[in-house]
Every structure is written in C-alpha cells, then in structure tokens.
A and B are shown apart, each in its own frame.
Chain A
C-alpha cells in the first residue's frame, strides 16, 4: 500500500508558476495495477518520479508499505536507491555501454548478491521476459520491443516492492503495443506485484488497470475501477477523456424513481445522477455513442430524439456517424448490418441507465 498525502510540487519557469502536483491525496492498493491517466503535462511523470524519489516535492508525505519515504514536515527523504523500487522508463534507459546481461544484473550487484545467485536470477527473469540467449548481446543491438523487455526485466529482477512504468509502450508501434499490453497484463497479474503505471492512452489504462486515477493540471480528479470510470464518471472531463461521448446541457427538474429527469433542449431526459440535486440547478447529461440505438420511431422508457443521419463512415468493425438534431450533433456507431443511409430521418434512442447526469 502506498499512501500519498497532500503532495505538492511547483515549478517556476519564466516567472510563471507551474503546478505540476497540486495537493495529491491517493492510496495505491498493494498487488494491483494502478494507473495514472491524464493528458500530457498533467503531472503524471512528476508524481511517479516523486514516488521513486527522483523528484523532491515541495510538501506532502509519501508512505510505501508503512515506511515514510518522504515527508516535508518530518524532513524525511529516503534516497531513490534506498527505496527498493523498480522502474521502466519511457525511453527504457538501457545503458548502451553494457550487454543485456550487465544491464539486468546491475540491480543485483547493487544488492551485493553472490555471483551464482545473480546468474540464476538473471536467467530466471530473462526466461520470464522471453529473452533467453540474449545475455551477451550489446544493448544497442536489439529491437525496441526487446529493449522494452530488457527494461522490464531489469526492473523486476531485484523483486521490488513496487514496479513503476512511465508510458512504457509509447515507443512501440501500434501492433506491438497491443500485444505487449496484453502480455504485460497477464504477466503483472500472475506476479501479483504492486504496479504503478503512467499513461495518457485511455485504452491502455482501461485494458491494464485494476484501479485508474485520472489526473488533470496537477490534481487527481477521480479514482476508480476501469468500468466505474468509464460508465459512471463524475465529471465531464473524465467522461470526455476516457472515451468518445455526447454531452449536452440541461437543468434538474425532478426525481423519477431511481432516475433523475433533466430538462434539456431535447425535452426531458432521464438518467442516473449520483447524489441529490435541487431543481433548476445547471447540469448536463452524457451518453456514449455505443449505447445509442437508431430507430425509425421513438421507444417507450428510452430517451428518444428525432434527427437526421449525417457523415456515415465505414471503419471496419462498425460505422461511425452523426445525427443532426437542429444543429446539435450526436456521435453514434452503427453496426454494419443495419441498412441506413445518409439523410435518413432517425430517432436517437438511449437507455436511462446508461445516461449519466452530472452537475459540473
């Protein structure tokens, strides 16, 4: 378990203050894959580096497995090399002057292990990452995917308490990235190790994580399991960031059983809201394209809005299209077996339980 309390880190550049970390409070569960997700520049790397100890925050506290490794108040700073963590860098940081074996055995040497112990463990970890037989290759003479695995092996070999990843797949090509992501998931789940994973790629985050923390401008704005974050985001930023979404404004009007009714320019829209709201308060609803069904006529118990089909694009698995409702655009997906054409008049229908109402 890693506990982070009130972490702050400001940079001063050109007379401006950049709040890279702005009061971060999170708990990272043990033996789970925890992902920091957010747009580039939101402070993910800074947070990661603070945990490893490569960055000294201005204030706050970091506790790893019960040991405080950083505290501005108590004036504690455990240096990186004493924190016993493993990390895979974005650039992999494979030392070009060493062989693969030397790269991987390095953390063990620093633990002052015996030679045969080192050999054994390097062998084991090389088998694990499927790089057997590469021991004596110079580190510069391997592919990007292999470098990534060397970096992983190096991070794992000393059996660290926590392994941290900073966008480790961003240097790989799309296909390899997908493959590696899958491998990594299985791998980390099997090992049952605590992993902190930084990425700006939502798909990566959803696919890999047990828990996701979404960051924006130096703050963690939401934490939750992938499905929670995806289906029940608590802010439009998260909703938008985590996947394609249609968002429209409205005002609270009333409660209707388990649902809340929102007054919008399309009429009343039913959806789920977390918490209680007073009437006439500004709010918005959103619905993901994949939950929208196009119908020829409105259906009962569903939110249905009439519009016209536009911009039908075939992208393989399905069509992407837009429905124009008096100038308001809904993004939708259409399964390839539907027989629809552009300019057809359609009803945009979606279930209230997938319609999320938030008040931000």
Chain B
C-alpha cells in the first residue's frame, strides 16, 4: 500500500519535473511559429530526417558515444578494481583521479587537450616529435578518436562513482569459491567479478552513452575543427545558421536522442532484471579481501600514476599556466617574465564572478542535497518495487537528461516562463535536479541492488516502522551510494552550463556561465583562474563529504 502510494507520488513529482520541458519541446517541434506558439506542422521532422547528411551524423554519433562509454567504463573498472580490491600503493590517488575531471569545466578540459595535442604545435606532440625524431606531429586530437579520448576522460568520474561502490561491496565469497574451483585471479575477474557487477557496469555504460550524446564541449572544441559532426554539433549548426534560431527543428532532431535513450534504458532494465536478483551485500560479505599483486604491484602503480598524471596534473598545470600568462602562449622561457597574478586579481575583484561563486556554492550544496533525497526515494522504488510503474519512473528520470543540452535548456525556459520562478535561482535549482536526476539515481540504485531484502525485512519483523527502517537500516547501509550520488550531483551542479546559460539572469549568475562569458570574450587567463577556483571549491566539498561519509558508514571498509 505504502509502496504504491510512494511510487505514485514519485511518478508525479519526477514526471512533472521532466515531462514539462520535454513536452514543451515536443510541442515546439510541431509548431510553425515558436514566437506565438501557433500553427501545426510536420515539416521540421521531415526536414530534419531527410537531410542526406543525417546518416553520417548518426554514424559519427554512435561511434563517439559508444567509444566514450567503452573507454570510460573500462578505465573505471580498472581503477576501481585496483583501488578497492588490490594492495596497490597510494590508494588515495585513485579517488582523486577519478573525480577531478568531474570538477573541471568541460570547455577548459577540452581546450587543455587541444593545447597539448593539436597537430600544429601541441605541447605533447612537439615533445614526442623531438623525442623520436619524427618529421610530423604523431597525434591529431581533431579526430574521432581524439574526441572519444577526451570525452571518455571527462565521463570517467560518472563511471567510477557507479562502479567503485559496487566493487567494494562485492560479496567476496563469490570470488573465493571461483578460486577454490581452480580459477586464477584473472579468470575469476572475468568470469565472476565482471558478470556479477553487470548491473553497475551496464548502468555506468548507459549513463556515459546518454551523457556523451548530450555533450557539447568536446564535439564543438575538438570535433568541429576536425570537421567531425555529431548530433549535438549538428543541432548547434541548425541553430547557429540563421538569426531566428529554429529551436523547433533542433527539438525535432533532439527527439531521436531522446528515443534512443529511452530504448537504451529499457534494454538496460531488461538485461539486468535477472541479475538484480543476485545480491551482493549479505551480512557476511563485508570483510575486505585483497588481491596481492606481488611483482606486478609497481608496474601497475606506474600505469595508474601515469594515467593520473595525464588526467589531472597535465590539464591542471595547463590551467595554472594559462591563468598566469597574459594570453595563450606556447610554454617557453619567454613566458616566464610575463607571468603575473593579474588575472587572479581581476577575477577576485569582479563582483559578478564572486556572486556566481556564491550562487554555484548554494546550488552545489543545497541543490545536491535535495536531489539526493529525491533520488533515494526514486531509486528505492526502481530497485525494490519491481512493478511496471517502477520502470516508468526510471524512464521518466532519464527524460530531460537524455535531451541534448542546448535544446533542453530552451525547453525549461519555455516552461519556467509560465511560472513565477522564471529568472530566479530556484528555476536553476529545479532544472538541475530534473535534468541530472540520473546522477543521483544510478549510484543509489546500484547500492540498493546490493542490500539484501532480508536486511530490511528483518527490521520490520523487529517492529520497526517504515521510516525507522529507512533511517536506521537502509540509509546507513546506503552511505557509500549516497556519498557517490551527492558528489556526482554536487560537482555537476557546481559546473553546470547548458541549462544555466539559458536560465540564469542578472542576480542568478553561476560559475559556468561566467566562465563561458570569459571564453566568449577570449579572456583565457581569467577563465583559467576562475576555473581553478571552481576546481578548488569543488574538491574541498568532495573531500569534506567523503570524510563525513566515511565517518557515518563504519561498516564500509
């Protein structure tokens, strides 16, 4: 009874949040005149899907999203296995590596990689050229593989934060029994660990696919110069070529991304419906077991260290460097005397930058908290109430998330303008939560899947009411999942751009919008300085929350 009411309430809340903007877009895609919202037409769909180029775009898009998802997921599996299950040294590095890209504004990250790997004078390219005496630069970032590489790195945190908790909560006896059956560590990993972790791995894969489908920074900064167009840049092209940007047409194109995402989510549910019966946290599975890497310990550590160097240190160094130089210059001794703190001073004096920092902090902390609370309920229903309506809820939660960012923002604007929230920070808050709900839900549902029903049931038998059970049993066991969700949401909200750029108004400016303005004005120095401030604040929040989480979940080893 209670479950049914809960499911219904959530469907209404989540449905309202996500359907409204999507519905506005759907409506808009059938309208002749968006200004007055009148006239009915199929023309936009016909035009959009009879475009002879569309097929090529679809092909690029599929390669791009699947490639990124594959890359991010494999890397995340590797890192989280190393971190949670082996005796590799300096484990703290892993968490850092896997989360930092989450906090770097995507444009900055993409531009950093362009500076490193562009075929004309990319720093790494030049380095390689000199090292191996090559006649030409070896790597061209402006390619599909370049896009996949950078997008994969950017989406790594999503994958890691979903896979790592599942990996650490894994019932060791499943692996132990495989070893007893004579399987090696590696065989056990591929035959037992991976298949049992399938829900988490699939979740991460799907989430990255959906995310990269909507991603714009990498396709525009790296794809466009390489003349490789994917769905989001194709939509941008439609909007940019002409002054009365045709958002109806953009929405019509975006619908295919939406449909693709919804189908993916159903496939995902289908594929994991069986596996979700495999439960991995039982009360016995909580002891840590560590794979001894023996002689491969240091070589593997070297690989991890190298990845972390590439992933965090290099782009961050690039950022620090550009924040100190008056303009973008290739690093050389010549740059040294020109370095100064001027950009930093400018940023710290700029009232809008400071206001946007304050607003983003509010959204990142408060917004993520509300988002996580909603996500706890939603993922509970998705995982534990396995009815049809739970499936509906899950699809709903993905609706606005899967729409390409540039378009969904307009959907939200069309919606919010009809409410008194328009132009306020609350519109941003609601928009963020509605759009990034999957970030909250995914890690939490992986965590829920692993909590054996009997842990909850035995609480009921002990006379605990539903809310007592939630408070005393479920939530504490969920802490690792909650921490992951909170970090994902908070860091996302902290650097959110696509919605903000449409919804923020004077007074409700946020960091990413300010960064975008700096980038549009070409003020890379200030942009980098603000970016570093952003990364710093974000990291601080993440560290604090991780520590709190660790304290709260004593059982989490």
Q: Do A and B come from one complex?
A: yes
Q: Whose C-beta in chain A lies nearest to the C-beta of B557?
A: A140
Please indicate the chain A residues that have their CB under 8 angstroms from the CB of B479 in the complex: 97
Asked if residues B553 and A97 are in contact (CB atoms below 8 Å), the reply is: yes
Asked if residues B476 and A93 are in contact (CB atoms below 8 Å), the reply is: no
Which of B284-303 touch A at CB < 8 Å?
A: 284, 286-287
Which of B539-557 touch A at CB < 8 Å?
A: 553-556
Which of A35-93 touch B at CB < 8 Å?
A: 49, 52-54, 77, 79-82, 84-87, 89-93
Known contacts A90-B454, A95-B455, A97-B477; A140 and B286 CB within 8 A of each other = yes
Asked if residues A54 and B284 are in contact (CB atoms below 8 Å), the reply is: no
Stretch at the interface among B104-112, B365-373, B465-473: B465-473
- How far apart sit A80 and B464, CA to CA, in the bound complex (Å)? 9
Please indicate the chain A residues that have their CB under 8 angstroms from the CB of B452 in the complex: 91, 93
Minimal beta-carbon separation of A94 from chain B (angstroms): 4
Interface status of A154 (Cβ within 8 A of chain B): yes
- How far apart sit A346 and B452, CA to CA, in the bound complex (Å)? 56
Q: Mark A93-128, 1 if CB is under 8 A from B, else 0.
A: 111111000000011001100000000000000000
Classify chain B's interface size.
Answer: 20 to 34
Interface status of B424 (Cβ within 8 A of chain A): no
Asked if residues A81 and B464 are in contact (CB atoms below 8 Å), the reply is: yes
Please indicate the chain B residues that have their CB under 8 angstroms from the CB of A95 in the complex: 283, 455, 458-459, 473, 477
Minimal beta-carbon separation of A156 from chain B (angstroms): 11
- How far apart sit A110 and B452, CA to CA, in the bound complex (Å)? 21
Asked if residues A140 and B283 are in contact (CB atoms below 8 Å), the reply is: yes
Asked if residues B287 and A140 are in contact (CB atoms below 8 Å), the reply is: yes
Asked if residues B457 and A158 are in contact (CB atoms below 8 Å), the reply is: no
Please indicate the chain B residues that have their CB under 8 angstroms from the CB of A334 in the complex: none
Choose from B281, B455, B463, B473 the contact partner of A84 (Cβ within 8 Å): B463
Q: Mark A222-252, 1 if CB is under 8 A from B, else 0.
A: 0000000000000000000000000000000
Please indicate the chain A residues that have their CB under 8 angstroms from the CB of B519 in the complex: none
- How far apart sit A140 and B285, CA to CA, in the bound complex (Å)? 8
- How far apart sit A350 and B356, CA to CA, in the bound complex (Å)? 94
Name the residue in A84, A94, A151 with the highest tally of chain B Cβ atoms < 10 Å from its Cβ: A94
Interface status of B272 (Cβ within 8 A of chain A): no
Asked if residues A85 and B461 are in contact (CB atoms below 8 Å), the reply is: yes
- How far apart sit A139 and B287, CA to CA, in the bound complex (Å)? 11
Minimal beta-carbon separation of A118 from chain B (angstroms): 13
- How far apart sit A154 and B464, CA to CA, in the bound complex (Å)? 13
Interface status of B460 (Cβ within 8 A of chain A): yes
Asked if residues B472 and A106 are in contact (CB atoms below 8 Å), the reply is: yes
Please indicate the chain A residues that have their CB under 8 angstroms from the CB of B281 in the complex: 96
Interface status of A144 (Cβ within 8 A of chain B): yes
Q: Mark B1-18, 1 if CB is under 8 A from A, else 0.
A: 100000000000000000
Q: Whose C-beta in chain A lies nearest to the C-beta of B461?
A: A87
Known contacts A96-B281, A96-B283, A140-B555; A107 and B463 CB within 8 A of each other = yes
- How far apart sit A155 and B457, CA to CA, in the bound complex (Å)? 12
Q: Whose C-beta in chain A lies nearest to the C-beta of B469?
A: A81
Asked if residues B463 and A54 are in contact (CB atoms below 8 Å), the reply is: no
- How far apart sit A304 and B391, CA to CA, in the bound complex (Å)? 67
Interface status of A138 (Cβ within 8 A of chain B): yes
- How far apart sit A90 and B453, CA to CA, in the bound complex (Å)? 12
Asked if residues A154 and B554 are in contact (CB atoms below 8 Å), the reply is: no
Q: Whose C-beta in chain B lies nearest to the C-beta of A94?
A: B283
25 pairs, A vs B, C-beta closer than 8 Å: A52-B461, A54-B460, A80-B460, A81-B463, A84-B463, A85-B461, A95-B477, A96-B477, A96-B555, A97-B477, A97-B479, A97-B554, A98-B555, A107-B464, A110-B463, A110-B465, A111-B463, A138-B554, A140-B283, A141-B287, A147-B283, A151-B458, A154-B458, A154-B462, A155-B461
B→A interface (CB under 8 Å): 1, 281-284, 286-287, 452, 454-455, 457-465, 468, 472-473, 476-477, 479, 553-556
Task: Contacts A97-B556, A110-B462, A110-B468 known; list 18 others, CB within 8 Å.
Answer: A52-B457, A80-B460, A81-B461, A81-B463, A81-B464, A81-B465, A87-B461, A89-B457, A91-B282, A93-B283, A93-B454, A93-B455, A95-B458, A96-B286, A98-B555, A139-B283, A140-B283, A147-B284
A→B interface (CB under 8 Å): 49, 52-54, 77, 79-82, 84-87, 89-98, 106-107, 110-111, 138-141, 144, 147, 151, 154-155, 158
